[in-house]
Chain A
Amino acid sequence: MSACTRDEWMTVAAARQLRNDSVCFVGIGLPSAACNLARLTHAPEIVLIYESGTIGTRPDVLPLSIGDGELAETATCVVPLPEIFSFYLQAGRVDVGFLGAAQIDRFGNLNSTVIGPYELPSTRLPGAGGAAEIALHARQVFVMLRATPRSFVERLDFRSSAGYLEGHGARARAGIPGGGPRAVITDVGMLAPHPESEELQLVALFEGASVDEARAAIGWPLQVADRIDTIAPPTARELDTLRALNARTREAHARPVHIPL
């Protein structure tokens, strides 16, 4: 299966990180596609939670927002938002947080707030939303982000959510309960923290991608693990399932809605 895009490959690689017995707090966008692909392929019993309070949701099409009606209709239960953050996330009942961001640094800290100074930003981004506490409390975090020097930066403009802070155990010393970013899935390959320094290093590449390509796409001097794995291309089932999901989603989101006159 070679005729797939890097975005599709990235989504498939991210989906493979999830297990059938995971309880996963899903961010919108790329993470949502990856989490639902996992559910529709190798992890049918995965519990997906969206911050709108929908628990165990099984949408047939990807939601545009984190609160589409589809998420509520297909959920095991729907709980108030303060409950999802207090009784589930803060209480340590979430295994995996799956996040995106605008910027990431070498220790997996994320920015989704501003480009430029906070008081007078050149670009005001949406902000931390649920991510600030998902990043603290989920037992492990996966991050999905297309690799460019603008997004993988030497220095964040703003720290919206914590990765490993300054590395070398700083996260644990700060008293953060969750384990931090386990992997960063990009459209070139995958980064994972070094066991001691906690600096993200290249651990896997897609077939056809090179270490040089990865280095060019990362805005800091990228460390490379002793062993680089090759990420297996999508299987026919993975790719067919993803494409069908995306096609259903496109169709659903373009469908005219009856104006409730």
Chain B
Amino acid sequence: MSCQHLQLAEAIELFVHDGASIALEGFTHLIPFAAGHEIIRQRKRDLHLIRMTPDLVYDQLIGMGCARSLSFSWGGNPGVGSLHRLRDAVEHGWPHPLELNEHSHAGMAAAFTAGASRLPFGVLRGYIGTDLPAHNPNIRRIACPFTGESLAAVPALNPDVTILHAQRADRAGNVAIDGIVGAAREAALAAKTLIVTVEEIVDVLPPAMNAIVLPHWVVSAVVPCRGGAYPSYAQGHYARDNAFYRRWDTIARDRDGFLAWMKRHVLDTPDHHAFLASLQTEAAA
């Protein structure tokens, strides 16, 4: 498959279908917020959301009614507290019930790694003494065929679409990421379709030998999108807006306040640039 250069709205329209399983990865760093917002603008429904740490981006997708189920391992607002929209969906079924496929970080990492390798399951020494296997039939135990040791097994995660945000890609579609990478590479290579939004498209990638490079033929689409990870961050470009993460606690706490904010800043803005501009206008007021 060759890599296409697309605009964000085109890429979401082309690849993200109702009912699809999608993984917007990026561990705190490089969370693809612009892509998440575009999914909300296009009112995609019935999605199976996959992400180790749902973060604000999935709180928004869940609250806006885009999700049917969630595979995850830690669902909070880091350092702040709850994801109120995720909680409302689990505790009260609002806007509709959310099916959970809950893992630990190590289990999700093993599932993505297996998916990237096209193996049926991942193996780990994990979950012992926890109640998670009792509530998630996807966590099972197998015996090592060589020693007999009992190990945890989790089915591979192979999202229909993985979406990442990266600092840069070149014109051929090779993608470079530096800083915290989380499980981005594994989630990318586990997917059937990979969309990458980038801060900039360059003629030649900088010679950073160990920065993650996803080669062009595993990338379905590259999308130029400056600021596409905000309010998370892009190392070398802009910092995580910790003050915004704190403010989100108030914005998302009640349904009406959340819906009003999403309408004003996401539904009523045509694209990510306009979203950022609306926040700046608000900050200046």
Contacts and interface: CB of A to CB of B under 8 A. Distances in A.
Interface of A: 28-29, 51-54, 63-69, 71-73, 78, 80-82, 85-86, 89-90, 109, 113, 118-133, 135-137, 158-162, 165, 171, 174-177, 252-261
26 contacts: A51-B105, A53-B181, A63-B79, A71-B180, A80-B181, A80-B183, A80-B186, A81-B183, A120-B91, A125-B76, A126-B74, A127-B73, A128-B73, A128-B104, A128-B132, A131-B104, A132-B130, A132-B132, A133-B124, A159-B129, A171-B129, A176-B129, A256-B243, A259-B230, A260-B226, A261-B226
B245 interface: yes
Contacts of B150: 175
Contacts of A72: 29, 179-180, 235
B227 A82 contact: no
Contacts of A51: 105
Contact of A52 (B107, B109, B112, B180): B180
Contacts of A53: 27, 180-182
Contacts of A125: 76, 82
A249 to B, nearest CB: 10
Contact of A64 (B107, B245, B273, B279): B245
Interface residues of B, number: 72
Name A's interface SS.
Answer: loop
Given A123-B91, A257-B243, A80 B132 contact: no
Given A257-B238, A257-B242, 7 more contacts: A67-B78, A78-B181, A80-B182, A120-B91, A122-B91, A132-B105, A260-B226
Contact of B227 (A85, A120, A171, A261): A261
B203 interface: no
A67 B129 CA distance: 28
Contact of B242 (A68, A165, A171, A258): A68
B125 interface: yes
Contact of A136 (B29, B83, B112, B128): B128
B77 to A, nearest CB: 9
B205 interface: no
B28 interface: yes
B253 to A, nearest CB: 14
Nearest to A64: B79
Residue of A67, A118, A162 with most partner-chain B CB within 10 A: A67
B15 interface: no
Given A64-B79, A65-B79, A160 B131 contact: yes
The interface centre, meaning the residue of B212, B227, B241 with most chain A CB atoms within 10 A of its CB, is B241
What 8 A-B pairs come out closest when comparing CB atoms? A67-B28, A162-B129, A126-B76, A65-B78, A129-B74, A260-B227, A64-B79, A132-B104
A81 B182 contact: yes
Contacts of A177: 125
A72 B233 CA distance: 12
A119 B136 CA distance: 11
Nearest to B280: A259
B80 interface: yes
A157 to B, nearest CB: 9
B144 to A, nearest CB: 12
A78 B180 contact: yes
A129 B126 CA distance: 12
B239 interface: yes
A73 B130 CA distance: 35
Contacts of B183: 80-82
Contacts of A171: 129
